[in-house]
Amino acid sequence: MGKTTLLLELAKEWGSHAIYIAADSPEASMPGWWEAQWDRAERNAATHTALLLLDEIHYVHNWSRLLKSKFDFIRRKHIRLHVVASGSSALHLARGMKETMAGRFEHLRLLHWPASELADAFHLPPEKAVQHVIRYGGYPGTVPLVRDPRRWQAYVHDSIVEPAISRDVLLMEAIRKPALLRQVFSIGAGHPSEIISLQKIVGQLSDAGAMETVAHYLHILEEACLVAAVPKYSSKLLRQRAAPPKLVPLNQAILTAVPNAGIPAPDRAPERWGRWVENACLAHAWNAGQTVYYWRAEPLEVDLVLIGDWGQWAMEIKTGAYAVSDLAGLFEFCRIHKGFRPLVLCDRGREAIARNAGLNSMAWADFLWSGPPE
């Protein structure tokens, strides 16, 4: 997610007033290391407001109690010190904050980079940044490697996906069947933006597992910001829970974790390309903090239903040529659910088809850059 990048940028901005510490470094396991860092930070804050940046803090044993003790000391002594603590294991950090740090923290959850952030960081034109996000994902570390596809794919697998599965996810909680978790992840990565029942997922697994276990592992993968199990939109909660999920890898780079998948070309593999674009749009909304659903009432379907500070939208995502008859699901959904605004995301230059039918329309590239229209 670029946590270390963010902290190092803060350290650079604050100059000598900031101290950056990596809690996963070898010296962090030495006796007295924790106390020495805080003594150093306290001296730094003696004459001016200072900043202490604790990266990968979940590697410190009993970190939340230690941090609570130091936080309370800072407050009592009126020390002018800001503290930023980061960690890779979302559930592990959340548990520690809620149990020990209650009332003492502000929580910022970092999610995958959108095209606009990549453009700012790497000086990319908007259209090129959008194309990069769809084909290569939003991990900033991969940007310099895209000219060498083999090296780029190896980096995604070895440096991002594998550590997330084998280390960060296992830090969340005890995983009884790690092989099963890997298989569930592979199915999610290999079926972007597809609606798949839990029964079908179980049927594809070589390691036997109950549907409850598979559903739980999907939840863990979503908490780890790897693959979301997007639910069907329904005003009735029981129907929503009973419906099969739509699997959405939350960064396009994850799609390449499946061996021999490759990046689809719009002209040679239009159906796969359409899935990739749809997945990118759903992932973009999820990473922007929107509540994301799909809707289906056979044979009608809506690709993306979202609720959040962007508003309430029902969206159909089209790549290539389409006709008004292909938007029947969108018309039907908005007829039933009056509070939602319809929006068609399509290739640039094809917006008039939907607009002539009385629907809002925009290029999916513009949606991936700035979200829905105001």
Confidence category of residue 95, pLDDT binned at 50, 70, 90: low
* Secondary-structure class of domain 270-374 per CATH: alpha beta
Letter for the amino acid at 45?
A
Indicate the SS3 state at residue 8: helix
Confidence category of residue 211, pLDDT binned at 50, 70, 90: confident
Q: Do domains 3-99 and 270-374 have the same CATH topology?
A: no
In order of 19, 79, 239, the CA distances from 41 in angstroms are 7, 10, 54
User: For residue 312, is pLDDT > 60?
Assistant: yes
| pLDDT, tens digit, 9 for 90 and up, residues 56-94 | 888 888 888 888 899 889 989 999 999 999 887 665 566
> β-strand 18-22 against 50-55: which pairing, if any?
parallel
DSSP 217-245: HHHHHHHTTSEEEEPBP-SSHHHHHHSPP
Confidence category of residue 237, pLDDT binned at 50, 70, 90: low
Instruction: Choose the CATH number for 148-258 among 3.90.1280, 1.10.10, 2.40.30, 1.10.357.
Output: 1.10.10
Helices (H), the chain: 3-14, 33-44, 63-77, 90-99, 115-122, 126-136, 149-155, 162-163, 169-172, 178-190, 198-204, 211-223, 237-242, 270-287, 328-336, 351-356, 364-370
User: For residue 17, is pLDDT > 70?
Assistant: yes
* CATH number for the domain whose boundaries are 3-99: 3.40.50.300
Biggest CA pair distance of the chain: 70
Residues 30, 33: Cα–Cα separation, whole Å: 6
| pLDDT, tens digit, 9 for 90 and up, residues 140-199 | 888 889 899 889 888 888 888 888 887 767 766 667 788 888 888 989 999 999 998 888
Most confident among 74-88, 225-239, 260-274, 302-316 (mean pLDDT) = 302-316
Interior/surface letters 105-139, b for 16+ CB within 10 angstroms, e for the rest: beeeeeebbbbbebbeeeebeeeebbebbbbbbbb
| pLDDT, tens digit, 9 for 90 and up, residues 35-55 | 999 999 999 999 899 999 999
User: For residue 257, is pLDDT > 80?
Assistant: no
C-beta atoms surrounding 222 within 10 Å: 18
Q: Residue 260's pLDDT is what?
A: 65
User: For residue 228, is pLDDT > 80?
Assistant: yes
Element (H, E) at 19: strand 18-22
Residues 249, 229: Cα–Cα separation, whole Å: 9
What tokens appear for 103 in the block?
A: 């009332």
Percent above pLDDT 90 for the chain: 55
Q: Residue 160's pLDDT is what?
A: 86
User: For residue 99, is pLDDT > 60?
Assistant: yes
- Domain residue limits, the chain: 3-99, 148-258, 270-374
The pTM for the full model equals 0.85
Long-range contacts made by residues 159-165, C-beta under 8 angstroms, separation at least 24?
Answer: 160/253, 161/226, 161/253, 161/254, 161/257, 164/88, 164/224, 164/226, 165/226
Cα 115–chain centre separation:
13
